[in-house]
Amino acid sequence: MKIWRYVDFAKFVDMLATQSLYFACTSQMSDPYEGWMPRSHIAALAGMHEAYLKQLKDACDAALVFKPGLDPAAFDGILEDARRKFHLPTLLREVNFKFGLSCWHINDDESEAMWRLYSSLGSGIAIESTDDKLKASLPNEGIIVDRVRYMNFERDEIEKGHPHYGLFIKRNAFEHEKELRATLLLPTPGKGAAVPCDLECLIVNIHISPEAPAFYASAVQYVLDRSDLSTHPPVLRSQLLEQPTVVSE
């Protein structure tokens, strides 16, 4: 499966210099629903939480019946602590500070929309790869790579039996991204991390924005030649905006 990562020149240079992929903290994503879940899932979790609190309260009440000398205030503190720790909105926000993402676009061809979204003023670069190469280029432990599924968060039911859920769903409004993402638990919550990556394994081709000035490909080739890569992937200027030609018979 072919995938693309659209970046600006500075991020590309940093990738070469550090021989790594940057995993941004989930909390840094622009989508306010990043890491969130459909209403049906939240309702199910809230129901489980309420059932747990009821069982805990029943256990506390039973303990007071059997041992009337116990301090009821101590049990009130236990219940309040449980309510605080299992407050679902707080838990979901905390998760967003713990995980990092590297996001890729699934497409057999380059995307005009992705160029416009992620390469302002014709200064973009698209790294072409595959899902298998992405997996092979990253450390084996602790990284999950999977497609993002797009759902209606108000109406869709819970997906049952899928091994990856919370960080791999987004609202239907983002379906144009056709996203494949890699996730990992960040070493420092709230702070993105650069993860060592075998770029020679990862990169198939490097595509230059169709709106880039003439010197841009030379600049990309210049930094590529001075990188630590032993083999250099082809640098290709996008033909997306070239005028059509008539092929004579």
Give the count of domains, the chain: 2
CA–CA gap between residue 148 and residue 137 (Å, rounded): 20
Q: For the residues 222-247, what does the mean pLDDT come to?
A: 89
CA–CA gap between residue 174 and residue 138 (Å, rounded): 26
pLDDT in tens, 125-172: 999 999 999 999 999 889 999 999 999 989 888 777 776 677 899 999
pLDDT higher for 81 or 239?
239
* 148 and 175 fall within a common domain: yes
For all residues of the chain together, what is the average pLDDT?
A: 88
* 10 and 81 fall within a common domain: no
- Determine, yes or no, domain membership for 70: yes
* 56 and 170 fall within a common domain: no
**pLDDT score of 124 more than 70:** yes
* Cβ(190)–Cβ(176) below 8 Å: no
* 81 and 108 fall within a common domain: no
**pLDDT score of 110 more than 80:** yes
Could you give the count of Cα atoms lying within 13 Å of 242 in the half-sphere of its Cβ?
Answer: 7
Q: For residue 23, give the amino acid letter.
A: F
Q: For the residues 11-22, what does the mean pLDDT come to?
A: 95
Q: Quick one: CA torsion of 41, 42, 45, 47, rounded to 10 degrees?
A: -110
Q: For the residues 31-50, what does the mean pLDDT come to?
A: 82
pTM: 0.84
> By residue range, what is the domain housing residue 72?
39-94
- Determine, yes or no, domain membership for 246: no
Determine the Cα angle at 116 with ends 110 and 119, to 5°: 90
* Cβ(148)–Cβ(179) below 8 Å: yes
CA–CA gap between residue 60 and residue 99 (Å, rounded): 36
